[in-house]
Structure 1
Amino acid sequence: MDGTVLIADDDRTIRTVLTQALTRAGCRVHATGSLAQLLKWVEEGRGDLVITDVMMPDGNGIDRIPAIREARPDLPVIVISAQNTIVTAIRATEAEAFEYLPKPFDLPDLMSKANQALSRRPRKSDPIPEPLPAPREAADPAMPLIGHAPSMQALFRMVARVLNADLPVIIAGEAGVGKTTIARSFHELSDRCDRGLAVLTSSDATEEAIARAADKARGGTIIIENPAGFDTGAQARLIGLIETMEAGPDRAHAPRIVATTGSDPQADVAAGRLRSDLYYRLAGVTVSVPPLRARVDDILPLAAHLLARAAAQGLPERMLSDDAAAMLRAHPFPGNVRELENMMRRLALTASGPAISTAEMREALSQQSGHRTPAAAPVSALTPAPEPAGVVSLPQVGSRLSDSVEAHLQRYFDLHGDALPPPGLYDRILREVERPLLQVALDATGGNQLRCADLLGINRNTLRKKLTELNIEVTRRRKLM
């Protein structure tokens, strides 16, 4: 790897790690904690690549990209950010950043992107691009689109790539994952945002309703909710609408079609619920939204965001106690983000103090699940049913760990009677074992991560990533290296 890299990040640790990695790879590096210094270097003609954080003490890194491009149109910019929202991904894409990577990032991935950026430096004869407009701001969506999980980051990138295309979109996912919010993002964050938005549902899909929607959304966006729920006549009218938009005299102002579905559209076609010719007209791009149980590490950041938003709307300020947070993280959330949002608003209103207690969280989870009593609400997949005096029995000396785990699991299954536990049990169990394993190993090695990684037989970068993912608290004795 060859070239000069300019790094702007107010986190000294990140500056040090990137400087060392890039220097070892053969690059020259200038690092700063100031956007002003970064822009000074750019204007002086230094650097072949910029790596910048978003939230800096003296400004926003994405907001500075137009100035960087104006001064040096051929200078690629990689954006790194802990602001893991769809808006950040879209704003980085709109500003024509070379790449956007969420924190904590995978160092080999960032090094690969840096190598690609340096390898694709344009020739002197390449045309100078037009200046970019200022990156678009967006209102806080009704349901938060926040996520560091790889599945959500992939979703954000997909939305950013096709945001201003004319292709129709199908957004698929379980109830409560935020399909309608994402559908609205396709309108509100796109170039169509100053034109009309219309929503069509199966309860109002008459010829007149479809005509009104087309007129209202001229040049804008039509959201079709659950097209498989439309009767055959309504589906035929939708096909007629799309054909008119594609070939009619006003096709230059045709609205974009974004459909949402809680089922597999191909299965709907096979079952006869959705006309195949309608499906193929809708499925220009398919975006799958993961359920909340598949991105457990996003639960606590989402909960904190929802509590902060509730406080901004006039409800009391609340935070989660450590035990309440652990209980929340172990909940399977069949209702996904909507369930979490309702729970946080209710707890913000009803909690007795600033910190939501274990008892309050247990009661909230019991109300959400409906069939469980507060005492039986499992804190985790490996927690046995409470003993009368609140004492958890320990394995006898000489017993194997596998025997103890098997006993705990059997009691956990017994709690559900004839029903099965919620899906995702395998991952939940692995997480429950992984956290105490890392904590005990860190304690045994005095917080020395190099020794701890060697003890566990894993790479130190893998250990650091897992400590961040599992929110293992950093103390003087257990300090991130």
Structure 2
Amino acid sequence: MGLHRILVADDEESMRWVLSKALRKKGYSVDLAADGNQALRQVREQSYDLVIVDIKMPGMSGLEFLDKARELRPDLLVVVMTAEASMKNAVEAMKRGAYDYITKPFDLEVIDAIIEKVSRARDVSNQVSLLKQELKDRYQVEKNIIGNSAAMREVYKTIGKVAGSDITVLIQGESGTGKELIARAIHFNSTRLGKPFVAINCAAIPKDLLESELFGSERGAFTGATERKTGKFEQANHGTIFLDEIGDMPLDLQAKILRVLQEQEITRIGGSQNLSVDVRVVAATNQELQERVRNREFREDLYYRLNVVPINLAPLRERSEDIPALVEYFLERACAELEIPTKQCAPEAMELLSNYSWPGNVRELENTIKRGVILSSDPYLTTADFASLTNRQETIHAIPQEQSLESLVEMKLRNSMNGIEKLDKGDIYDRVLEQVERPLIRYVLEKTRGNQVRAADILGINRNTLRKKISELGVSIKKD
């Protein structure tokens, strides 16, 4: 982290010149002010990591500046310079909140030592603040991830398995399923807690700007680059970077991401120096990356480098048993934000919400509940408050939880195999598997329009295995 931007305020031009030259040589961005009033204006307009200010200046003294500047920025670090080495000046400066106090004339080594001291203090302060914020965020993330369905339990298990390592994770799921929440949960349960979590949406930034956002740029690297810019990878150093919608990343940039994963190094645009970064990468996409690889729209080597541990987030329509808990949570949160008594959902409204297909997933459900809370004046939300859902006619005929596929298969087995003791040894397993596999393969082939490569990918089996199954089970293939 350290220091980046420093303000030097002194009415002596020679002192401003000497300090600015020395500090810029060290790589700092330096602004100058000739008096206290100008310095205060700059503090209002810019964000500084450190101010070095002379105690005696025309118009406004350094001590007056110190009082007013710390009113604006209580966390601002100020070093006071003076030509009068009096105890009164030193005590007064420190009482008013100066970080340190130096007497003119001084060697530049003194400034170097103070800068290093301030930099360490800034790092410690930033880490403490970051840790406090991340602990708060961790609580919010864990509170926000709702669901006890089988699909979500598998996600929780995977988070637990990967959180303690630095292994790369690829989160796949439709828009609105909560991919960033899962990425944050991985970070907050890892050894990198207290270090930065930096998220960037690769689809939301224009392609010509994405590279500088990720890797940073040097001053003069391109038109408008008036100063050095720190990229997301540097900002995430020692922490986690979340590359959301990575499937939209341009191919040439994918090659540079691959290099970061392999070498743990970056190069700023316009720079020649390789910078080491210690960053854990979590990526996410709502696209079928394997299909993009086949279409040469996504690098195969990057795909396998990212897909070390995949986490697949099921769409809300496939875990409808989680909807009641989500509804209750969003109701409570929306009412708290509006500072009104908590509303409840009438049984028929809950049934409507549970049977809706939710193409926008959890995000759509949250917005729907919030809209219902805002527009309804009653303590109970009814189907009338969700009329827009019925108008879209996108309801699903979900199997009730007690009538899941597993329970239906079990019921069918009980009804059809009363004479199980008469079955030949080993016969039941093959017979049941055959009756489950045949409709499954037929359904997937139907959805992929007879594309066996795609069907094998979806089923998670080898293409040769799929061909063998098609032959053994007598599955007919219909092609459009």
Smaller-chain TM-score bracket? 0.3 to 0.5
TM-score (normalizing by structure 1):
0.47
Q: Which has the higher helix share?
A: 2
Larger Cα-atom Rg: 2
